Amino acid sequence: MSPTKSIAALVTGASRGFGRAIALSFVARTLSSSPLSATSLHLVLASRDINALAESKTLVIDVARSLNREKDIHVATIPLDMSTPPAQLDSHLATLFAVPSALPLPISSYSSAYLFHNAGMLGPLSRARDLSPSHTTDIATALSQDVAAYIALTSHFLTAFTDTSNVVIVNVSSLAAIQPFETWGVYGAGKAARDLFMRTVAEEEGPRVKTLNYAPGPLDTAMQTHIRTSMPAVPLRQVYVDMHTQGKLVKVEDSAEALLDVLGGIKGKWEGNGEHVDYFHVVGE
């Protein structure tokens, strides 16, 4: 595949964990000889933690430097809290791709644009019957961030890149989007909604806009630590404890590489129609 002239990309939740791993893998693929190769990459890293974002930016530039492509990358960091009240968040998103923006070139200059929806929150882990009125605020906050804010960002991204010939939107999904897990009802509901929205976007905008729902597997992250320590005493909790003890949790770097294999057409079956693709299916486990 011949290199794309210029790629614009936005990664949310890029300050650490899987978001950072996506950014690093994406840079390595686009600035080297691969199906995703580009002549230049303009990358926007977003998170509520601006200090940790600075660390991610340094690591990203280190990857470009190791490939002798430092001059071909522009990296911007922006504070973005997806749990911000809707009106305030919408106002912020409306200016995200305005001119001047975090991108150094006019939007019309990019032939490809990528959005990696990694930011999200777990929400309350509880059986449905135990989701008392005291959980209402937590439920609303989780679904506002995981669904409403996610939809709003997608809409603004589509509007900004409406004339771009190749747009790819990746939703970091979960097996919980398609399979029920005890005490994960709120989280799973949010992920299922996100999956359906990606399929709807593909139906409305394809084939110019391609979407993917990617389940990265049980990642060895801070969220996993929180699950093991805070989840009610149901069998799944012990499964995660055992996976951690036995070193069977998925490394964020491995899952990010698998995701890029899917996007590059190297592994997995993905046509851009919002398919739900699981890490373990990609790596053949």
For position 285, what pLDDT does the model report? 57
Domains and CATH numbers, the chain: 7-219+253-283 (3.40.50.720)
Question: At residue 1, does pLDDT exceed 80?
Answer: no
Across 254-274, average pLDDT: 93
For 104-160, the pLDDT digits (tens) are 888 999 999 999 999 988 899 999 988 877 788 899 999 999 999 999 999 999 999
Instruction: Give the model confidence (pLDDT) of 151-199 as tens digits.
Output: 999 999 999 999 999 999 999 999 999 999 999 999 999 999 999 999 9
pTM of this structure: 0.94
Comparing 1-15, 173-187, 204-218, 244-258, the range with the smallest average pLDDT is 1-15
Contact yes or no for 199/273 (Cβ under 8 A):
yes
Whole-number pLDDT of residue 92: 80
Backbone angles phi, psi at 75, to 5 degrees: -120, 125
Residue 273: both structure tokens together: 């129609």
Going by their DSSP bridges, the two strands 166-172 and 112-117 should be labelled as parallel
Give the model's pLDDT for residue 133. 76
Percent of the residues in the chain that have a pLDDT greater than 70, as a whole number: 97
Q: Quick one: pLDDT at residue 96?
A: 77
What is the per-residue DSSP string for 59-74? HHHHHHHHTT-GGGEE
The arithmetic mean of pLDDT across residues 42-58, rounded, is 95
What angle, rounded to 10 degrees, do the helices at 17-30 and 252-263 form? 40
User: What pLDDT is attached to residue 166?
Assistant: 95
DSSP labels, 250-277: BPHHHHHHHHHHHHTTSSS---SEEEEE
- Give yes or no for residue 95 having a pLDDT over 90: no
Query: If DSSP codes are grouped into helix, strand and coil, which group holds residue 76?
Result: strand
Tokens linked to 142: 């989780």
- State percent of the chain over pLDDT 90: 73
- Can you say whether residue 212 is alpha, beta or left, with left for phi > 0 and alpha for psi between -120 and 50 degrees? beta
**Mean pLDDT over residues 240-250, rounded?**
92
Residues 263/170, Cβ–Cβ less than 8 Å:
yes
pLDDT at residue 3 greater than cutoff 50 = no
> How many helices, marked H, and strands, marked E, lie in the chain?
10, 7
One-letter amino acid for residue 162 of the chain: T
- Residue pointed to by tokens 């490394």: 251
Which residue would you say has higher pLDDT here, 107 or 257? 257
Report the alpha-carbon distance of residue 154 to residue 199 in Å, rounded.
13
Bridge partners (DSSP) of residue 9 are 43, 114
